[in-house]
Amino acid sequence: MTRDQTGPGPMTCPFCGPRDASEFRYGGDPSVARPGPGCSDADWAAYLYLRDSPRGPAREYRVHAQGCGQWLVAERDTVTHLVGTITEATP
């Protein structure tokens, strides 16, 4: 049983460079799409309240709240907490 991945380290903001992880606020799941106006009540309720809780690799919004204030998308392993690539969030 080994868990050899890239070593841990600070989080790298695409705008500011490597910064302490505590500067980044969690911002939710970027894969959740806002349903269109004609959606069902159930669709809207799911959009509001239903979230996956993945074990292992995940993508998540991170806001560089104590830095540049930009919304970012980070790859993070929810088991090891290892953070992979961080990119700028786009619509």
Partner 1 sequence: MTGPSRIAGGGEPLPFTFAGRRLIGQKGDSIASALLANGIVTVGRSFKYRRPRGILSAGEDEPNAIVDVVLNGVRVPNVRATTQGLEAGMAISPVLGRGAALLTQALSPFIASGFYYKTFLWPHWGLFEPAIRRMAGLGRVDPDSRMVAEPGGNLAADLCVVGGGRSGLLAATKAATSGQRVLLVEQRAELGGSSLWRDGGDSVDLVAAARDAGVTIWTGATAFGAYENGRLGIHRQGAGLADGGSLWAVQAGQVVLATGALERPLLFERNDLPGVMLADAALHYLRRRGVLCGARPVIATNNDSVYPVALVLAKAGAVVTLVDSRAASERSADAAAKGIRVLTGARVARALGRGRVSGVMLTDGTGIDADLLAVSGGWTPTLHLYCQAGGKAVWDDERAILVPAFPVPGISLAGRAAGNWFAPDALPWVWSAAPEIPVAGKSRKTWIDLQNDVTLGDVQLAAQENFTSVEHLKRYTTLGMATDQGKTANLLGAAAMAQATGRSATDLGLTTYRPPYTPVPMAALQGLSRGPLQSPLRRLAAEPAHREMGAALWDYGGLLRPAFYGKDEASIATECLAARQGAVVFDASSLGKVAVMGPKARELLDFLFTGRMSTLQPGRIRYGLTLNEAGVVTDDGVVLCLGPDHFLVSCSSSHVGGFVASAEEWRQTRFGRDGVFIHDRTAHWATMSLSGPKSKPLLAGLGIVETLDDAAFPHMSFVMGRFMGGEARVSRVSFTGERGYEISVPAGLAIPLWQALIGAGAKPCGIEALGVLRAEKGFIYVGQDTDGETMPQDLGFDAPRLKRREGFVGDRALQLPVAGDADRKQLVGLARADGGVIPAGAHLIEGAPRRSIGFVTSSHHSPTLRRGIALALVEGGRARIGQEVTWFDLGQTGRATVTAACAYDPEGSRLNV
Residue 52 within binding range of partner 1, rule CB under 8 A = no
What is the token pair recorded at 25?
A: 């606020």
Query: Which of the 8 DSSP states describes residue 2?
Result: -
User: Which residues partner with 43 through β-bridges?
Assistant: none
Residue 16 within binding range of partner 1, rule CB under 8 A = no
Name the minimum Å distance from CB 1 to partner 1: 5
Name the CA dihedral angle for 85, 55, 23, 62, rounded to a multiple of 10 degrees.
Answer: 60
List interacting residues with partner 1 (CB under 8 A): 1-11, 20-22, 27, 30, 34-35, 37, 39, 41, 44-45, 47-48, 61, 63, 69-71, 79-83, 89-91
